[in-house]
Amino acid sequence: MISLQVFYEGHVQGVGFRWSVRDVAKGFDVTGWVRNLADGRVELHVTGDDDEVRAFLDGIRQGELHSLIHKQTENKLDKPVTARGFDIRHD
């Protein structure tokens, strides 16, 4: 199992980015959440089998969202993401 925090920069707010990420997540055995940040980035937390998480992130990068993403930064998390399924957070 792996847990990651991922930040997306680019034209990632106001374009349905979070909803598209949630739709991509439905095709993978991952849990987590995605939310907008005040500085214009989108933050994603995800937990799952290493291969499944990597495939999920590749699905985001290679899908319809790829042209909106200018930079992606990953950080490993020490604890698994506490979530049921994959949600959009509004906090």
Q: Supply the residues annotated as catalytic.
A: 18, 36
Burial profile 62-87: b = 16 or more Cβ within 10 angstroms, e = fewer: eeebeebbeebeeeeeeeebeeeebe
Tell me the longest C-alpha to C-alpha distance in the chain: 32
